[in-house]
Amino acid sequence: MSTDSNCIFCKIVAGAIPSKKAYEDAELLVFHDINPWAPVHVLIVPKRHIASLADTGVADEALLGRMLALAPRLMQQLGVANGFRVVVNTGRDGGQEVDHLHVHVMGGPRPWTRG
């Protein structure tokens, strides 16, 4: 599997940096954001290192579909009942700070810290 030894999310996938896990399967890991914008804020990441959404192609369609389809199931499991926000920051101007593809999923009662 493709990993980047300098990548913080690859280190989380490898267990070298701890995280609060919400879901895991062969391809995906979900953990709680360390600096949450909302009462529930998780990050869905592929275990394989992909730098950003701009680095995906046709071969990644199934993976991307699985990531998006997981969002409502996770929110239900985490008790989010009244809607949620899905964000994929991409590239510098897109506000991406960690260069490993991740889907933010945020929910829970407002007000939120941000967003």
Residues that bind ligand AMP (CB under 6 A): 8, 17, 19, 31, 33-35, 89, 95-98
102 is catalytic: yes
CB closer to ligand AMP out of 58 and 97: 97
**Token pair of 86 as six digits:** 């899905």
Residue 8 touches which member of ligand AMP, Zn ion, none, C-beta under 5-8 Å by kind: ligand AMP
CB of 9 to ligand AMP, least distance (A): 8
106 with 38: CB under 8 angstroms? yes
71 with 26: CB under 8 angstroms? no
